[in-house]
Chain A
Amino acid sequence: MWSTACLFHHDGMIAFQPTSMRNSELFTLTYGALVTQLCKDYENDEEVNKQLDKMGYNIGVRLIEDFLARSSIGRCQDFRETADVIAKVAFKMYLGITPSVTNWSPAGDEFSLILENNPLVDFVELPDNHSTLIYSNLLCGVLRGALEMVQMAVDVRFVQDTLRGDNVTEIRMKFIKRIEENLPAGDE
């Protein structure tokens, strides 16, 4: 299997330079192992993408609480502010990177996150038989789940990926609607 080979290759690297092991590498490697396992379990890339998104969603709905508690950021007034918080605070806090925010739609309801270096794909090389696998699709689920908890329904998808030969990695975010708060049913 392809990423098993990658993992072994990386194991070697770690053994070679034990002092340079960073915490984020633990996550990167664990994620690699997860994707590898899913590919074994499902055979179909579409299904793997779906599972990754679902797992990400479940992480996102919890991660948002950790994020809010640690950053003490209040409610965003508009989608532009949301974009800034995601790129400059959240990505920085959890992945140590700051994607750039570009390609705003005229209506201001869509933007792109450009990831110069996606830490999830360190040491990864996609083999030819996984051309439809969206390797980092977990991130889409995380973003969707976290934003849903702050009343925003958002469509999140990878439109470019360096793993698949694109020049950059681009995540497209489209605001769908504000989730309204309602009184629970049965209350008057």
Chain B
Amino acid sequence: MTVHNLYIFDRNGNCLYYNEWNRKKQAGISKEEEYKLMYGMLFSIRSFVSKMSPLDMKEGFLSFQTSKYRLHYYETPSGLKFVMNTDLSVTNARDTLQHIYSNLYVEYIVKNPVCVLGHSLDSELFSSRLDAFIRALPFYSPRAA
């Protein structure tokens, strides 16, 4: 059980925030390139999912998994995208991502007039609260496995 890393993108594809907790393998490209790659993939998946769906969807894309990790996706109607990678034992992290949006992002970024929206978040308060929140999650336990 573990949380690997977390990305927050704004609706224009800027990576507002990134942090990692238990990431053993790096992408081998610069972080900027990685954010673009990640956003591009998410953008494509969203459009793929909405075109391929045989029914009208409410939520759209929710998550995908590979043999080793699961990517959880939450998008607000205002276009903010919260992306969290965990191991496979975490089946649903939707409430967690929603909580990060409404109780951390809105409280410490949106309600802080000094934080310019649409730029990378440099609020220490936000970072430390988020870090504390992630570390307190029931499925956060980076065992050296």
Interface residues of A (CB under 8 A from B): 61-62, 64-66, 68-70, 72-76, 149-151, 181, 183-184, 187
Tell me, in angstroms, the Cα distance from A72 to B13 when the chains sit together.
23
A74-B77, A149-B78 known; A187-B36 Cβ under 8 A: yes
Closest partner residue, chain A, to B98 (CB atom): A72
Bin chain B's interface residue count.
20 to 34
Q: Binding site of B, secondary structure by majority: helix, strand, loop or mixed?
A: loop
- Write out the residue numbers on chain B whose beta carbons fall within 8 Å of the beta carbon of A76: 77
1/0 contact trace for B20-42 toward A, CB 8 Å?
00000000000000001001100
A70→B110 CA distance, assembly (Å): 13
Asked if A68 and B77 sit within 8 Å, CB to CB, the answer is: yes
Complex contacts, A66 vs chain B, CB 8 Å:
106, 110-111
- Chain A residues with Cβ below 8 Å from B40 are 183, 187
B100 to chain A, nearest CB (A): 10
Cβ–Cβ < 8 Å partners of A187 in chain B: 13, 36, 39-40
Q: How far is the CA of A69 from the CA of B59 in the complex (A)?
A: 16
Establish whether residues B78 and A181, one from each chain, have CB atoms under 8 Å apart when the complex forms.
Answer: no
Closest to B78 in A: A149
| Shortest distance from the beta carbon of A145 to any chain B beta carbon, whole Å | 11
Q: How far is the CB of A49 from chain B (nearest CB, A)?
A: 23
Q: Are B78 and A68 in contact (CB under 8 A)?
A: yes
